[in-house]
Chain A
Amino acid sequence: MITRAATVERPRIGSGAAPILRFEGVCKRYGPLEALAGVTFQVNRGEVVCLIGPSGSGKSTLLRCANALESIDGGRVILDGVDVHDRRTDARKLRRRMGMVFQNFELFPHLTVLRNVAVGPTTVLGMSPPKAAERAMELLRKVGLAEKASQHPAALSGGQQQRVAIARALAMQPDVMLFDEPTSALDPETIGEVLSVMKRLADEGMTMVVVTHEMDFAKRVGSWIVVFDHGKVVEQGPPRQVFEEPTVQRTRDFLSHLGWHGESLAASDLLVHSPSNTP
């Protein structure tokens, strides 16, 4: 406790301005199952908010509620001052501002890689095909897959497909990127390439909400961690607090279940060395 008091916490990124995305007591039930039981937290501009917690704790459901792919049964989701689930809100317009990346990539198999990235701008924004192709090419270069532009998704590895999916979401020039377990369906050897694309995106200042089981990524790249359990937020805070000095037993249980203990965290050379742990 003494060390913690001595640690000067940096203010939360973007905390001066209004949050870009806010969840206010969001509830969602599937029959008798309460998937979300009053979830409240906010995402500031430029933040990378990582949602962690056991499977089935409501993280992915929350992400789908964020861009109205799922309706909600209570509470509100506010994107930049607009109530996402209000009946007068045009959900399609709001979805354009939120890019989404799925666990199973969900690339469109009948379209080439280039068309996968360009189809959003041409169909939704009415952009001319050559201009959309130009933007798509630029984004494919950014994720390092320009040479795959004319192939179909089936010819790509899982990691490559997920990078294309990130480019597809970016093509709509969203304000927020939502990642739903983007590396959970990947072979271990291709996880890194996806995470590094995401890290680069974070470094460029993209606002991101990431549901992940990659604790290493959450610790290094995340600027705010939200811990879920049974449809509730049990703890939230900056990575150092959540991973090293969790205030809630449930968080400690979850982390130790994954094999993450305070000591092993500090010992791991993968992690940013934190001064508070220096002996």
Chain B
Amino acid sequence: MGRRVAAPEDRTAMDVDISPLIENWQFILTGLGFTLSLSGLSIVLGVGIGLVCGVMRTYGGSLLDTAIGLYVDLLRSIPVLAILVWTYFAFPLVIGESLTPFSGGVLALGVHLGAYVTEVIRAGLTSIRPGQMRAALALGMSPLQAIRTIILPQALIRMLPPLGSLIVIAVKDSAIASVIAVPELLRQSQVLAGKTFRPFEIYTAAMLIYFLICYPTARTIDQIYRRFAPLGAS
């Protein structure tokens, strides 16, 4: 209407066109699926490792403490990217069996996460005052029963905030698996951006999707913690 319209070739960066996203939504969705399953499985593996190692490190005597301490310090001193690349390219030479990118990703991210969860669990267990263990033992419980029914539930409640941050970090770290070609969200975005020459739209959408997974997760864990926090205070 008489107003001057900017020439499109001058403003290519701001010329937003979301049609590649709409046309390739299934491609993106596949990536999202891999992101969720990769981070989900690595969280399950990491929390599993962390629970076992955290309990063993706390109650298992000095030998286990030293051994698990070594695992924790080692894994925490190496970049997760290096761990991932090593697991996918070098570890198969050790076991003489090749790994798929996905299983390599789950393994590397899970073992890495496990080191951090171990320390969180240990901190939680040692924060429960010793009288709780004495009370459980005095009832005739075995140490394992006492840990399972009395100590660990309280520790987990107390440890929800740090566990929540680790879980959110695990979701974000799953993007690193793009370097070993796991077709997760970031990898799919890279491929799509290369094909459509629309990096702005596609990477922005990827960021938004990560945010939409991680933010509600963090808030939900926070809400759960607020609700149960009094039950962890002995």
Q: Which residues of A contact B (CB under 8 A)?
A: 64, 67, 69, 92-93, 95-96, 98-100, 102, 104, 106-110, 119-120, 123-124, 152, 154, 168-169, 172
Contact = CB atoms under 8 A, between A and B. Distances in A.
Contacts of A93: 140
B64 to A, nearest CB: 21
Contact of A123 (B145, B154, B157, B231): B145
Interface of B is mostly: helix
Contacts of A123: 139, 141, 145, 149
A43 to B, nearest CB: 17
B33 interface: no
A106 B135 CA distance: 6
A110 B139 contact: no
B232 interface: yes
A59 B232 CA distance: 30
A108 B140 contact: no
A121 to B, nearest CB: 9
Contacts of B145: 123-124
Contacts of B234: 106-109
A110 B140 contact: no
A152 B231 contact: yes
B154 to A, nearest CB: 5
B230 A172 contact: no
B137 interface: yes
A100 B149 contact: no
Given A120-B140, A123-B141, A172-B139, A102 B154 contact: no
B62 to A, nearest CB: 18
Contacts of A69: 134, 137-138
Given A106-B135, A110-B154, A119 B140 contact: no
Contacts of A100: 135, 138
Across the A-B interface, the 9 shortest Cβ-Cβ residue pairs: A106-B135, A96-B140, A100-B138, A120-B139, A110-B231, A124-B140, A106-B131, A109-B234, A95-B140
A154 B150 CA distance: 16
A95 B153 contact: no
Interface centre among B139, B157, B232 (most CB of A within 10 A): B139
Interface string B146-176: 0001100110010000000000000000000
A124 B141 CA distance: 6
Given A107-B135, A124-B141, 9 more contacts: A67-B138, A92-B141, A95-B137, A106-B234, A108-B150, A109-B234, A110-B231, A123-B145, A154-B233
Nearest to B230: A154
B30 to A, nearest CB: 41
B138 A124 contact: no
